[in-house]
Structures are given as structure tokens and as C-alpha cells.
Structure 1
Amino acid sequence: MARYKEFEVNEVLDKAIQLFWMQGYEKTSMQGLVDFMGIHRRSIYDTFGDKHALFMKALQRYEAIQNKKMRLLVEKQEPVKELIRQFFESSLEKEGEPQGCFIVNSGVELGLLDPEVSSLVEDSYSKMEKLLYNLILIGQQTGEIEAHLDPEALSHFFMNVWLGLRTMVKTATDKGKLSGIIHTSLSILG
């Protein structure tokens, strides 16, 4: 007879996200996951698979949540420059979450070692660049952003700024410095 699951899958997966995000993949043990997620080792294997499969499911869930947040941001009826500012500032506001970005951290830790992680990270970055590219095009169409600026080059530049902010926030003690980076980056839009 099949045993009833005594946990909600997304709740325990969110706990796995937190632990992997705080410690990274290599430093997170199966026993640490058992303790932090509050479920039995057998339940982890039965529901998610091995540690790597659980890690990939955690990355996929995190990425889906982040994409939803970014889509909601873009759907706001606000000036494009303000939306891009909010996009950057979302990297700084992590109340109740570890600093930085789980996707960025995972790419730095495993991107060269794990093709599956590398592919997920690259796909996530491509989605963010496309979002930025589309925002820039809208801004050019409405006259908010100078038409002579190359939207593809700007989307690459802003992606680099976003990744930098998501990395720097882990160690920066001067939040004014991070705000200054955002302000300076936005100033190139005219």
C-alpha cells in the first residue's frame, strides 16, 4: 500500500531552495537537507530523486518564481526607465532570503562543471536579457530611451549590471554604492 505524503511538495522544495542558496550545492549534504526540509531521507528520494535531481528541481522552481516576479514587474503601467530601475533594485531587496541570487550562485559554483546546471542558468539569463531588450524597445518607441542606442548592446550591458548587483549585494556594506551603480547605469539611456 502506498504511503500518504505528510508534506506539501512545494513547501519542502522551498526549504531545499533556501538551504542550497545559503550553502551551495557542494556544501549541502543529504543529512542537512533531511534536517532542514523536515522530511525523511526516503521521502526525499521518492519524491525528488537524488541530491542532484532535488537541486535541479529547486533551481527550476526558483527560476519560475523569479520569472513570474519579473513578468509582474514588466506588466506595471509605469515608465520604462522606472521599470528597469525596479528590475535592478529587486536585486537589493531580499527580505527573509539569502543575499544574492540562487541562479547566479549556482552558475558560479557549477556552471563549468555541470552541463545541466549550465544550461538552466544560460536559459535563465537569456530570458532576462530578452525581457530587458523588449523593455528597451518599448522605451525607444515611446521616446523615453534615445532611438540611436543599440537595444541589443544595451540589453547585454544591463544584464551585466544586473548580474554584478546580484553578486555584489552578498558582500557590499555600502548600499549607497549599489544605488549609485544603478543610477549611473540608467543615465546612459538619455
Structure 2
Amino acid sequence: MPRNKEFDYDEKLVEARNLFWKRGYNATSMNELVDVMQINRSSIYLTYGNKHELFLKSLRDYIRNKDDQYRLAAEKSDQPLEAIKNIIYSVYESALKESNCLFTNTIFELGNVDEKVGKVLKNQTIKAVELFEKLLLEARGNGTLKSDKEPRALAYFLVSGLTSIYNIHILFRDSQLTKQTTELLIESIK
């Protein structure tokens, strides 16, 4: 008779995600995962797979949370440019609060060297670009976007700018500089 799991799958995934978020993939050992998740190694392997599979699940969980953050921020306004500003400000607030970003860290740690992780990152980036492009096209359609910049290129710029908000804050821990970076990014859509 199989033994029932004595832990909450999602709760333990969050614990693993937070460790990867804090330390990065390469610096996180299976022993640390066992200690943080407080489940035995065999349960981790049976439930989540190996370290790489657990990392991918953790990254996807983080991305789902960011998708929810962007959606909720965008829904605060029915005006597309305001929705974009709300998303950008939500990233600024996250950078100040979290002082780190698993997505941004993973781009630099694994984006070019791990094909599966790179695919997850690329797909998420494209999804974010499509969201911004949709909002930019709506703004152009209703006359609020005055810029003659091509919406798709501007959308890519905005998404890369979200990463720059985290980069500035991670490197300098200067909330004023982080806010200035955020404001410059918002200025790019005027």
C-alpha cells in the first residue's frame, strides 16, 4: 500500500522556489533543498523530480505569480497607457519589497546555457511583450499613444526595462535611483 504524502505540494514548492530565488540554481544544493523543504530526498525526487525539474517547477510557479501581478496591475485601469504604467510601477514596488527577481537572476545565470530554462524564459518574455504590444496598439487606436515608435519594438523595450528596474535595485540598493529608472521607462511610452 503506497504511503500518503505528509506534506503540501504547493507549500513545499514555494519553499524550494524561495531558496532558488535567494541563492540561484547553481549555488543551491540538494542538501539545502532537503533542509529547507523539510522532506526527505527520496520524496523530493518522487514528487518533484531531480533538482533541475524542481527548479523548472519553481520558476514556472514564480512566473505564474508575476503573471497575476501584471494582470492585476493592468486591470486597475481601463486606459491602456495607464495599465502599462501600473504594470511598470508594480515591478518597481516588487523590486523595493523583494530586492531580487528569480526571473531576472535566471536570465543571467541560465538563460544562455540551459535550453529548457531558456525556453521557459523566452516564452514568458514573448507573453509579456504580447501584453504590452496589445496595450500599445489599443492606446494608438484610441489616440492616447502619440509616439511614432513601432509598438512591437517598444513592447520589447518595455519588457527589457522591467529587468533593468530589478538590476538597478539589486546592484545599488538605492530606491531613488530605482524610481528614476522606473520613471524613465514610463517616459518612453509618451
TM-score (norm. length: structure 2): 0.91
Question: After the TM superposition, which residues 2-151 of structure 1 pair with which residues of structure 2 at under 5 Å, given as runs?
Answer: 2-94=2-94, 98-146=98-146, 148-151=148-151
Question: Matched residue of 1:169: which SS?
Answer: helix
Q: Once the two structures are aligned, what percentage of the paired residues are identical?
A: 31
Indicate how the Cα distance of structure 1 residues 85 and 96 shifts in structure 2: closer, same or farther if over 3 A, else same.
closer
- Whole-Å Cα distance in 2 between the matches of residues 33 and 96 of structure 1? 26
How far is the alpha carbon of 1:145 from its aligned partner? 1.1
What is the aligned residue count? 190
- Whole-Å Cα distance in 2 between the matches of residues 186 and 73 of structure 1? 15
How far is the alpha carbon of 1:137 from its aligned partner? 1.1
Q: CA RMSD in A?
A: 1.9
* Alpha carbons 2:95, 2:169 under 8 Å: kept: no
Question: Matched residue of 1:93: which SS?
Answer: helix
**Deviation by residue 1:93-125 (Cα, 9 ceiling, x = unmatched):** 238974232122112101121100010011111
Indicate how the Cα distance of structure 1 residues 95 and 145 shifts in structure 2: closer, same or farther if over 3 A, else same.
closer
Which is worse superposed, 128-137 or 72-81?
A: 72-81
Indicate how the Cα distance of structure 1 residues 149 and 95 shifts in structure 2: closer, same or farther if over 3 A, else same.
closer
- Whole-Å Cα distance in 2 between the matches of residues 95 and 88 of structure 1? 11
* Alpha carbons 2:92, 2:182 under 8 Å: kept: no
- Whole-Å Cα distance in 2 between the matches of residues 21 and 180 of structure 1? 25
Structure 1: runs of 5+ lacking an equivalent: none
Which is worse superposed, 7-16 or 100-109?
A: 100-109
Question: Matched residue of 2:120: which SS?
Answer: helix
Give the counterpart letter for 1:158 in structure 2.
L
Q: Per residue, is there more helix in 1 or in 2?
A: 2
* Alpha carbons 1:91, 1:100 under 8 Å: kept: no
Structure 1 runs (4+) deviating above 4 angstroms are 95-98
Aligned to 1:163: 163
* Alpha carbons 1:85, 1:182 under 8 Å: kept: no
TM-score (norm. length: structure 1): 0.91
Give the counterpart letter for 1:177 in structure 2.
L
